[in-house]
Amino acid sequence: MLFRSCKDSLIAVLYTNGEPLLYHDLPRVIKYASDRKLATMISSNGLILNERISKDILEAGLDFIKIQLSGLMKNDEPNIDNGIKQTWEFAHPNNQNNTGPLENFKTMLKGKSYSMLLNHSEHQVVEMYLSENIATYEVTVLDVEKKYYKFKWQVEKYNKDGPLKDCWLTTAVSQPIPMGSSI
């Protein structure tokens, strides 16, 4: 683990080889960092994510997780539309109300506007804005046809009591902006 002081914060970076969700003490590590007001993030393919693991890492204080993009990247592993279901689980309840139920959300993601997210080849996430309760990211994906698209992805810290309290959940994803081909 690497700790580094910055002007008004402390950054901790934990490098691991392999799938972070396989680490049995992951919730404890996340809680340790979260209790010290450190932002936490993991990148996972999400294949072993289940309700218990989700609950454990969210309750431990995980702030933001790239699991949505990683899940969409391998949408049909291990089951059909597994990535879409994972993305749905990390959507803010207000977002779920606007786009749901889940079957409608699946239809939306498989439609022309968002289908490039499904089974994409690679993605890049750049933080554009961060406040105490809202963060905005610029997300660039390379789809299966080797075309780049850019999105604005907004997450918000959920403030109501319950298992999602203080978790960062997706509130909005912009329409894609075509960026051209990689060929």
Q: For 128-168, how does the pLDDT look when each residue is reduced to its tens digit (9 = 90+)? A: 888 888 988 899 999 999 999 999 999 988 888 877 777 78
Q: Given this model, what pLDDT does residue 144 score?
A: 94
Q: For residue 78, is the peptide bond before it cis, meaning its omega torsion is within 30 degrees of 0?
A: yes
Average pLDDT on 58-63 reads 73
| Mean pLDDT, residues 86-94 | 88
Quick count: other Cβ atoms within 10 Å of Cβ 26?
A: 20
For residue 68, the tally of other CB atoms under 10 A from its CB is 25
- Tell me what the mean pLDDT of segment 51-64 comes to: 74
**Beta strands, E only, the chain:** 2-5, 10-13, 41-42, 64-65, 122-130, 134-142, 147-157, 168-173, 177-181
Share of the chain above pLDDT 70, in %: 84
pTM for the whole structure: 0.69
The pLDDT assigned to 97 comes to 93
Pick from 81, 143, 148, 70: which is nearest to 110 by CA? 81
The beta-strand segments (E) located in 48-167 are 64-65, 122-130, 134-142, 147-157
In the chain the domains, ranked by start, together with CATH numbers, are 2-181 (3.10.450.630)
